Structure formats: structure tokens, C-alpha cells
Amino acid sequence: MRITKFANVALVAASLAMFGAGTASAADADWKKSLVFGGGSLGGVYYTVAGAISDLVQQKVEGIDRVSTITGSTTLFIPQIQENKVDIMLGTPDSMYFGWSAEAGLGFDKDERYDKLRVAGVAYINIMDLVVLKESGFGKIEDIADGRVGVLSATLKVPMELYLKAHGIEDPQVTIIGDWNQMAQALRDGSIAAMQGISTHPTPAITELGNAVDLQLLSYSSDAAVKDFLSNPTTRFFQKAVQPAGTYDWQTEDYATIGRGTTVIVSADLPDDEVYAIVKTIYENTDALKKVHPSAADFTTAMVQEYLDAGVIQIPFHPGARRYFEEQGVKIPDSVPAAE
């Protein structure tokens, strides 16, 4: 797993132009020629990566004339895939599962199904940093005895509580602070003992805070604690991850933690050969994509296998994507549902 810095989306066209166009064979007549890519919030990593993929596919896949990247949220794009208004999107494995399945969760009601969602690939893992002041003297998670941890959103509150409970903190006091800068200030003034960041790293707010005060990261204490956390139905879509030394100037060692992944989702209505061409183009042009955003270096078949081995892919692969990955030696377990 690699953690990388943000790159400007304005580099997309220049970076991809070096690689030419038209690497895929001519399309079948039933291909959809104009695609819509749900790319997340403007300026975010999802939007940047989606824009890079859109330009790459438009330039290199013969038979696809246009790929438009639009802004929005996962909860907006999932119904739009069902309605054939969106063809491709990015999202977390858990949101995709609860959207696809009849199980209630993450705002989806029981029996509310969007059964056209299909996996076409995976990307970077959003790493969880648990940051404390170095002067706190904390050496392990259990030292945060009262569990005063700040998180950015309501969707991260319960996972953080479960993570702390798995480490023996019985009554964690997790606070939602919906702004990076406010959370950093709360850590500095002692309102919270630790701040949680689930993101691509380095995160600018953490970098800035580290320039002002000495920081450190708290790794999980034991495999047993992580196993307990990952076995919980609420947090089963998280997985182990390692943030390499040097991600921040003050981080001198590899950091063992957890994270939540990123999946590429396509509509089940797209033809198999078209999806095969799209997936092949993405995974065989990583050098072009990572010039736009270095986290795109994680578009590898090894990362696909990592997600599968962690058991976090629980919706079907699109047959076109499945064919490509199996040709590359990826082992897809029986726990992944077959396409309907």
C-alpha cells in the first residue's frame, strides 16, 4: 500500500497525451459511446482520479467517444447508475455493498437494492491516522484512557468507538469535529487527546499541525485487537494497512493501522467487451494516471488481490472486469457473489 501526495488535475491532458491514443480494438456496435463518470466532490481526490481515468479512456479506447466527469456524492451516484444516468463511479466497499444488497446500512434501507452495481477495479486505501501530541506521553492506544478522540463525520464516529473498545477502552468519548483545522486546534488545546484522519496522506492539515508542534502516530497494539475490530459487522469493510515511513517529515517508521478502500464501480448494463477494454486501459497505463495523482499508482492487480484476500469485496465483478483480472492471475474467491 502506497500513500502519496496530491497532484493538480490540470496536468491530466498533458500527462496522458504522451501515451497516444487508440490502444483498444474497435468497439462492437452495442458499446455505449458516451459515458458519464461520477467523480465525487470538486477538488477532491475522487474527482481528480476520475478526471484522469475519463481522459485516459476517452483518448485510448477506440469506440468510446466521450467520458464526462461530474461532481456529486456516492449516495447520489448509486441510484443514478441504476437509472443509467451514470456509468462509472468511485466509492468505498461498504457503501457499494449496502447499496447493492438488501441489507440495511449506511443510509440504505432494508430491501432497498441497486442491483446494477458491479466492481471494475480497486484503488488506494484511505489510511486511518490516529494522531497525538508527542508531549502527551502516549505510547499505545490504551493510554487514551478516556477515549477523547476527534473525528470528521458521523459515519466515522461508530467505527472509532469500536476501534477504541477493541483496545480495551470501555467508554470512549468520540467527538465529531467537522473541520480539519478545528480538530487540529482541539488537539493542541487539549479538548481531545487524539485526532483521527481517514484519508489519502499526507493530509495538509496534519502537515501544517506537524510544522507547529511535535506529533506521533499510535499504531494498533495487537493483531487480536484488530481482528476483533474487523470481525464486527459494522466495520468488516475496513482492512489492515501500512503507511510508509516518511509520509510526514516527522514520521520515521512504518505505521501499522487500518483503512477503508476505494472501488471502481460500473453499470451491469455496459457490454462485457467494453468494460474489459476500460479496465485493461486503466491497469496498463498506471504510469500516465499517477502523473495526475500519485495515488493512482495503486491501480495494480496486486492491490485487487489484497482487497479480495481481506474479504472487503462483497458485490459481483462485472464479467468484463473479472475476465481481465483472471487473465492476470487474480484469484477471486467464492465469497464474491456471481453476477446475476
| Same-domain check for residues 226 and 272 | no
- With a cut of 60, say whether residue 8 has pLDDT above it: no
Q: Judge whether 92 and 261 are in contact, CB under 8 Å.
A: yes
Per-residue pLDDT reduced to its tens digit, 35-45 = 999 988 776 78
Average pLDDT over all residues of the chain: 89
CATH of residue 158's domain is 3.40.190.10
> Cα(1)–Cα(84) distance, rounded to whole angstroms?
33
- The predicted model gives 305-321 an average pLDDT of 96
Instruction: Check residue 43 and give its pLDDT.
Output: 67
Domain boundary among 260, 278, 312: 260
135 with 250, same domain: the answer is yes
Report how far apart the first and last C-alpha atoms of the chain are (Å, whole number): 32
Residue 105: its pLDDT value, please? 80
pLDDT in tens, 126-161: 999 999 999 999 999 999 988 899 998 877 888 999
Domain that holds residue 250: 126-260
Query: Of 218, 244, 260, which residue sits at a domain end?
Result: 260
CB 128 within 8 A of CB 1: no
Q: Domain boundary at 260, 278, 296, which?
A: 260
> Is pLDDT of 319 > 90?
yes
Q: Are residues 218 and 269 in the same domain?
A: no
Q: Residue 201 pLDDT > 70, yes or no?
A: yes
pLDDT of residue 22: 47
Same domain as 266, residue 165: no
For residue 256, pLDDT beyond 80 = yes
- Same domain? 233 vs 248: yes
One domain for residues 119 and 131: no
Distance CA 87, CA 194 (A): 40
The predicted pLDDT at position 6 comes to 37
Residue 284 has a pLDDT of 97
Name which of 53, 211, 69, 58 is nearest 120 in CA terms: 53
Percent of the chain clearing pLDDT 70 (strictly above) = 92
Same-domain status, 171 and 52: no
